[in-house]
Structure 1
């Protein structure tokens, strides 16, 4: 059943994001809807502010007025979310819930896609995707946090460094 759970964006009164998230969590707990409403998030970021010559780290909401909810869309789950105090409805045409696409979820950083890297610095790899597909190069640097790898390939008789995403290359088995 969790396969059909998708991320939806819920519109709230401005400043009520945390309150709506807390109310929703309480409703899910009380009504035992864990299988329908799986996750509730208010996307935030930590920003360093300098005020009166003092540095402070402050948490800012990335999308004021919105809460992200991972849920299986049923009449029950829709009703619970829609009728939570402080919630004004789902984002979508005519307030009909439209789930976020996988690209949007990854771009928002709501869920991290785990990529298993089975190559290391110094290994030969084949480029699997993009304009350089089929080229073979040597891994110079791997950055898992930024989801990229730097590969040096031989192009037109010169060594050329290329930045690619982690899943665009595969190890070459000799």
Structure 2
């Protein structure tokens, strides 16, 4: 939709997915303008490796806890609907009280990292000395946003811009012990001192 923009809705943490379902239901029940309203909701997530009691598991965590991203061509209507959701708080606004639109380049940066289910998957990397090759996954070709690699925790710290602010976020990496033969000639995309958390 050409006239649609992305907005951020601040909600109670832990109820993001539930509120998306409530918005879907309420939008079907109420239609104050008697016209077709275009909207889609998104709760960006990421796969992470987490270790508990010596056991490492892969879990899915929300990228922006407490926020829902909404794309719509009628923000006033979505505002009214969101106010009917018990755990919904407010849309992010500017100083003049107009709704803050998420810039196109900011939202595209996030969307390109996610798969079809709205999840940032694990990237495969190979580390040799202080050089890192990103072989596959969402970080492939997006190494400019990689700021730090934590080999022991299998995480990469990336920096994305959202609502005009630079936000550091951890995403998972799978560190390969050996570089596959067909990847030997791949360009080294990221070169930085590997920083280990103690």
Short-chain TM bin: 0.5 to 0.7
Alpha carbons of 1:70 and 1:64: their partners in 2 closer, same or farther (altered >3 Å)?
same
Superposed, 1:142-157 pairs within 5 Å as 146-147=140-141
Q: Which has the larger radius of gyration?
A: 1
Deviation at 1:101, TM superposition (A): 0.8
Superposed, 1:41-80 pairs within 5 Å as 41-80=42-81
Alpha carbons of 1:110 and 1:26: their partners in 2 closer, same or farther (altered >3 Å)?
farther
Q: Distance in 1 between matches of 2:44 and 2:38?
A: 17
Alpha carbons of 1:27 and 1:37: their partners in 2 closer, same or farther (altered >3 Å)?
farther
Deviation at 1:50, TM superposition (A): 1.7
Gaps of 5+ in 1: 113-142, 149-160, 164-174
CA deviations on 1:72-116 (whole Å, 9 max, x unpaired) are 12532321123322111101225531111111111222788xxxx
Q: How many residues align?
A: 120
> What TM-score does the superposition give when structure 2 sets the normalisation length?
0.50
Gaps of 5+ in 2: 115-135, 143-186, 190-198
CA RMSD of aligned residues (A): 3.1
Preserved contact between residue 8 and residue 99 of structure 1 (Cα < 8 Å): yes
Superposed, 1:1-174 pairs within 5 Å as 2-31=1-30, 35-93=36-94, 96-109=98-111, 146-147=140-141
Q: Distance in 1 between matches of 2:40 and 2:20?
A: 10
